[in-house]
Structure 1
Amino acid sequence: MRVSRVLQLSICLVGLSLAWRSPPPGKPSIERGGQVPVGQIQVLSVGLLQLLQGVQESAWRMERQGDQVSEELMGDTQAVERLREQGVQVGRTHRQVTKNLQMMTAQSDRLENAAQDVQLGLETLLAEQGALELRMCRVLERVQSITKPVLRMEKQLNMNLMKVIVDTQSRRLADLALEVMTRDRLIDKHLQHIVDLEEQASRIRGERPPTSAEGRF
């Protein structure tokens, strides 16, 4: 805008100078002493006009280039801002993934410890069951050792006493059998719990995201 105004003002001054120095119509141009000829002034005016036009075109080109540079700079600034936002989002995602991985690792460790505790308890129950079965075998041997002489001496022994002994041993055997059944159910329950814990641990290991070392090429 400033260049256009300067050009307009220069053209006006050149026009006024030509109008002032041009001779009246019908009279030949007479060069006075110390004055520049009108022809030279016209040549200079035309040259000045062409120069000013060239300057104006250069100014327009520079203005368009400046606008293009401004647009490109604005686009680059927006791209840099988008990259910065993406970097912030990637950082948040990385922190969340790291936190989730730590939680999953801790949960997997707890499940493994629980499975080990249940396994130890199961081994203890199996040992107790073996001892209980051994006791039952000894009781059966005692019952058999009691009933055989009784059969031989059936006529001589009191049947009521025999009935009391047999009933007592039967109740004891029933109690032992019930205890064995209870322990069997408890063992089955612990076994199922171990299976469930192992399945949960396997699922957690399968859902773990790749670590930084595994994700590298």
Structure 2
Amino acid sequence: MRFHSGGPFRIPNQTTDQPTLPRSRSRSRIASSTPAFRSAMAAAAAAATATLAAPPRRMHKGSRARRGIGHVRCAVASDAAEAPAAPGARLSADCVVVGGGISGLCTAQALATKHGVSDVLVTEARPRPGGNITTVERPLEGYLWEEGPNSFQPSDSVLTMAVDSGLKDDLVFGDPNAPRFVLWEGKLRPVPSKPVDLPFFDLMSIPGKLRAGLGALGIRPPPPVCPLPVLHC
């Protein structure tokens, strides 16, 4: 997934807007590299843009913006180094999401599009948003490397988020029949393609194998109960 630099962004209006991210030019080369579809979809759920030279600014609503859809800003670590704030300067936001990985970006997208939060600020300690999801491209050497690895099953909630984010036409589904391997400690290890292969996969713990097997069968555990009060913005 590539993050294009620039200013803050507006969550797209799913009924009128086109996808705000450039379509991957390497789709044909990487289409079979995930068991479901490109993990970049989740990171782009908020269509995050890293502000590389200036502190985040408020993005004005476009003329086609649906009423009730908020703004999301993303501030990364390099901002403070390249454009330090003046002493005593304050930055306001209706809600702050700490961490610009998959969870943080998806949370920001949900706050802005589904919960009526008009101004969301995402902060990230790394120089870029996206967490583990990143693309390393070497055009002169002729290869593209997707770091992570991250992938997602095409569940209803994930597909809904992709559509809401304007990424419906950018989903890339993996070939379920294509073999997959994990390179670990100098050895290629085949990734289990069916639940009966899980016991022989030595890169997962026993609880992890059980969760993966149940998930492959469509059985999801109940969400954990949070013992602490949740602060609603």
- Is the TM value for this pair above 0.5? no
Structure 2 length-normalised TM: 0.16
Structure 1 length-normalised TM: 0.17
Higher strand share: 2
Structure (1 or 2) with the larger CA radius of gyration: 1
Higher helix share: 1
